[in-house]
A = this chain, B = another copy of it.
Amino acid sequence: MRATLMYGAGDVRVETVPDSVIKHPTDALVRITASCVCGSDLHPYGSMKPEDGPVRMGHEFIGVVEETGSEVTTVERGDLVVAPFAISDNTCPFCREGLHTSCSHPQAGFWDGEPEEGGQAEAVRVPLADGTLVKLPVAPDSALIPSLLTLSDVLGTGHHAAVAGGVNERTSVTVIGDGAVGLLAVLSAKRLGAEQIILMGRHRARTDLGRAFGATDVVSARGDEGIETVRELTGGDGTHVVLEAVGHMPAYDQALGVVRPGGVISRVGVPQYEEAPVGFGSLFRHNIRLAGGPAPVRAYIEELMPDILNGTIEPGKVFDATTDLDGVPAGYRDMADRRSLKTLVKP
């Protein structure tokens, strides 16, 4: 079968690899019908050393179950399913608390823990299929597929940012980042009732989509100027919640600058730093809280899917390009160059 491999920064190739096959009785084999490239894939695309590769890519996909292991009970051959970006058993104490990304099952984890599997491919072996996969009540060619595909990561991640930040109808919100996750954080904040949603981003096509998703204000300035603008929009105080959907240090600094005393910085952009200011002069003085992490998107699928099926939300609008597997390397390039927001892959 064919699959996507990253050999190092800027070097993505689609190659023929051994077919994925069932290895454990809890596995399912899924023939992928829709996949995509993630903003987080751009981090290694920008920095990965050749000696760390090649690695299989892709952690967001929809597909048709082709075969199941003997212990799998919740999905069967022919089912259309979506997979979250984390593998989990959905039964351990952490999963029962809704923290599937900290599932305690030995086979649980992120897709990069499965070096022979990936979502930007023709097929994939899914461990812990009963816990991980969720059936979709549509056909593989449904017009809802792009929106349903966002349940695998970016919609659940935007929603997680808002939930971890405590967004409700009484909170004002700043969203930092106009990538797919930032835009879906806007949509999620709107869905949870926030009345003021300030989107910080500088790419007009993206911020226009942000306005369509519910942003009340767009701030294109960055750094001190951007911070000053957000403060002007909020009576000088900043917003109760900041949803940080980038992961780079300037975004963290920007979050510190626009958060209100007593407020929350909720991070879902994977931090590209380890140390950051948290002392008296940054978080402590005004009881600023820091929240967020990898979204337990599995926990949110049942809640979010009905809004997609009934057309209340259209998160699939974040896809502005579609390609087959051969076009995946160009998809990475276009996203890295910000010519494309998010690329849908139809293998």
Contacts and interface: CB of A to CB of B under 8 A. Distances in A.
Contacts of A99: 261-262, 286-287
Given A267-B284, A285-B293, A291-B289, A94 B262 contact: yes
Contacts of A148: none
B278 A276 contact: yes
B294 A261 contact: no
A7 to B, nearest CB: 23
Contacts of A277: 274-275
A162 to B, nearest CB: 14
A102 interface: yes
Q: How many copies of this chain does one complex carry?
A: 2
A344 to B, nearest CB: 27
A140 interface: no
B292 A261 contact: no
A154 interface: no
A29 interface: no
A329 B45 CA distance: 61
Contacts of A75: none
Interface in A93-150: 94, 97, 99, 101-102
Interface of A: 94, 97, 99, 101-102, 164, 261-262, 267, 270-271, 273-294, 296
26 contacts: A94-B261, A99-B286, A99-B287, A101-B286, A101-B287, A270-B284, A271-B278, A271-B280, A271-B284, A273-B279, A274-B277, A274-B279, A274-B282, A275-B275, A275-B277, A275-B278, A276-B276, A276-B279, A283-B293, A284-B293, A284-B294, A286-B293, A287-B293, A287-B294, A287-B296, A290-B290
